[in-house]
Structure 1
Amino acid sequence: MASYVGLDVSLAETSVCVLGDKGEVRFEGKARSRPEDLVECIRRCAGDAERVGLETGQTAGVLVRALKEAGLPVVCLETRHAHKALSARANKTDRNDARGLAELMRVGWYREAWVRGASAQAVRSLLLGRRLLMQTKRTLENTLRGAVKRFGLMITKTAGRTFKHRAAAMMDRDPAYAAFAAPLLAVLGTVLAQIASYERQLRAIARGDGTVRRLMTVPGIGYLTALAFTSTLEDPARFKRSEDVGAYLGLTPRVHQSGEIDRSGRITRTGDGMTRSYLFEAASVVLTRITRPSALRSWGLRLQERSGLKKAKVAVARKLAVMMHAIWSDGTEFEWRAAA
């Protein structure tokens, strides 16, 4: 007889529930959240497992890959969908969540989430590391810029000099400012060096990836956007239509329809926020900085005249996502053709 396993994963321990094909509880207990311990527990308590389910989370990728390598039929569940089912229970406990996940496996009412492979996860880790340091860089620069004004100084723009060098030059004018700024400038220098290190690694990956190089032929798309896009989608065959990518990345409007009411709202912003933000930046470049004529730019500018820059950026970002998926799927490059 088949059995169905639910795993409610925590950092140290995982609640395990095994149900039979008629919903009877065959096992409830806990195991350590290490892959080898979970594999041993499932094989011991559910050797005939039909499906093993767990929600997406920080450790989900490692666990799913390990369970698959062990030959177990593991399914990673989309958290938002699973949460709606689990929240119907009166009491939220790890034990109840594990049982609820096992029940979802038994009845088949679940939505499977995509789990990135190890190589895509490695690229994404580099992108996230760089993004974190860029946020730190902005915080440090804004702090130094604000402090200069409080000390009665002014950092002016000088051709060929970075903000770090301009801020350092101010230290000679005020010892109090120097005492405040010197440690922050030292940290800023380290942050800039590590950002450059991340970017060297990411550029090397982009140079060695033919798909990324082809995506970079699209206007506004640099190596960071292309790498974020490919590491998020990972496999273009996941989407039957290129148009579905826009919705996956949260670039389509919410729809509220009930009776005679039918309206569209703001974009859903579901999916990967980093990739979406890179696409917004690329759309802004297409509309405001690139002057070479193309059908994409002409379409975006017409939309900007009708609806404004903000909505035009969203539409162009969605169009870029669709276009990049099509190029990835058919092995072509962007064609610079001006609108007729």
Structure 2
Amino acid sequence: MKKNITIGMDLGDKKNYVFGLNEEGKKLESQFIMNTQKQIEKFFKKYEKENTRIVMETGTHSPWISEMLKKKGFEVLVVNSNQLPLISRSIRKNDMKDAELLARLGRFDKDLLHTIEHRSQESRNDLSIIKSRNKLVETRASLVNHVRGIFKSFGQSIPSSSTPSFTQKIIFDIPHKLKNAINPILEIIDTLTVKIRNYDKQIKELSEIKYPETKLLRQVNGVGPVTALTFILTIETPDKFQRSRTVGAFLGLTSKIFDSGEINKQLRISKAGNKYLRSLLITCSNYIMGPFGNDCDLRQHGLKIMQRGGKNTKKKAIVAVARKLSVLLHRLWKDKAIYDPFYNSKKDTLKQIA
């Protein structure tokens, strides 16, 4: 008869700490193993014939380790570390203690663990293109700001321009005494611009050939290829959510709630989930609410919030529109629907007539 075994793993870059429990909750073993595929497979081989549950926290190495162990037939629970304050907020951090705590919680009730499912390797591969592009964009922006700072320190200003055309705008305005300091930076900025455009081509090809459903999302004015593809790759399947309304909470765009005793108040947004996708949706929301955004239900929703006045009203409106946008994108994807910018307005009008 198979034994029920629970093993907690505290993952590290070089070493992983493991703590095993039998079905009575007694310690089987505790040790560290090197963080290599060969050593991990060697350690867990003796548990392949048992009912073994492995519990680990999210981290850099959790995607490939959990995928490898699942292929070996183990039940693997990956825990959202931010939702496990017993470990994340512990005042006495200890790798072996963390591994033991994961094992004991996993043995008791897995519903307490706030488990997550890692994206597939294919989705992670394609997302790495978007992440690499974003890193180049951030680096280029940092270098542009560096050059602007040098100019300002010498009492000179640079005319406003788009980042890709920045070097052409200032190349003839650089004082002779600053050329040795600035010209190499401008060369790097130009190189980064070329590389970013190459990534843009890859993203366009991925969207058109491999992920044609991105067209459904790009129907919304302000949603570009990067946002559409990131949304698809992050969520992976529209069936992940039964109700589109829950997407906003998944991406950390809903308020935290403190409801205890006689106190019931809303706090700031939770900022749970994928930080990069959330930032892209906020950027789209800023565009929709900005001077170039087309009139639509989303924009009208944001304007109504802004009309209320009060502290941080504009920020609240931007977040609210981003939350509505996440729900809309999921609905368009799930239903393969044609986007109607005034769908809700028309529905309200029909209700009033009825």
Q: Give TM-score, length-normalised by structure 2.
A: 0.88
Partner of 2:257: 255
1:83: Cα distance to partner? 4.0
CA distance in 1, matches of 2:63, 2:274: 16
- Residues 1:147 and 2:169 are matched in the alignment: no
Give CA deviations for 1:47-106 in whole Å, capped at 9, x if unaligned.
413311111000111111111122221111111233425766x85322221111111221
The one-letter amino acid paired with 2:42 is E
Partner of 1:92: 93
CA distance in 1, matches of 2:27, 2:199: 50
Partner of 1:221: 223
Question: Which of 138, 146, 151 matches 2:141?
Answer: 138
CA distance in 2, matches of 1:323, 1:317: 10
State, as a whole percentage, how many aligned pairs show the same letter.
27
The 3 A distance-change label for structure 1 pair 85 and 240 is farther
Number of residues of Structure 1 aligned to a counterpart in Structure 2: 337
Q: Secondary structure at the match of 2:21?
A: strand
- Residues 1:187 and 2:192 are matched in the alignment: no
Give CA deviations for 1:1-26 in whole Å, capped at 9, x if unaligned.
21111111111111112110110111
Q: Does the CA-based 8 Å contact 2:221-2:293 persist in structure 1?
A: no
Partner of 2:102: 101
Q: Does the CA-based 8 Å contact 2:18-2:96 persist in structure 1?
A: yes
Q: Does the CA-based 8 Å contact 1:251-1:268 persist in structure 2?
A: yes
CA distance in 1, matches of 2:121, 2:332: 24
- Residues 1:200 and 2:201 are matched in the alignment: yes
The 3 A distance-change label for structure 1 pair 254 and 43 is same
Partner of 2:279: 277
The one-letter amino acid paired with 2:325 is L
CA distance in 2, matches of 1:86, 1:100: 12
The 3 A distance-change label for structure 1 pair 326 and 213 is same
- Residues 1:313 and 2:318 are matched in the alignment: yes
- Residues 1:163 and 2:184 are matched in the alignment: no
Q: Does the CA-based 8 Å contact 2:48-2:73 persist in structure 1?
A: no
CA distance in 2, matches of 1:323, 1:86: 34
CA distance in 1, matches of 2:89, 2:97: 10
Q: Secondary structure at the match of 2:115?
A: coil
Deviates more, 1:245-254 or 1:325-334: 325-334
Partner of 2:327: 322
- Residues 1:119 and 2:119 are matched in the alignment: no
Q: Does the CA-based 8 Å contact 1:16-1:30 persist in structure 2?
A: yes
Partner of 2:13: 11
Q: Does the CA-based 8 Å contact 2:82-2:88 persist in structure 1?
A: no
The 3 A distance-change label for structure 1 pair 291 and 76 is closer
The 3 A distance-change label for structure 1 pair 48 and 83 is farther
Q: Does the CA-based 8 Å contact 2:207-2:225 persist in structure 1?
A: yes
Give me the CA root mean square deviation: 2.3
Question: Which of 25, 38, 41 matches 2:40?
Answer: 38
The one-letter amino acid paired with 1:165 is Q
CA distance in 1, matches of 2:24, 2:48: 15
CA distance in 1, matches of 2:84, 2:304: 42
1:46: Cα distance to partner? 6.1
Partner of 1:241: 243
Q: Does the CA-based 8 Å contact 2:81-2:88 persist in structure 1?
A: no
Q: Does the CA-based 8 Å contact 1:17-1:25 persist in structure 2?
A: yes
Deviates more, 1:147-156 or 1:2-11: 147-156
Unaligned runs of 5+ in 2: 350-354
CA distance in 1, matches of 2:214, 2:167: 32
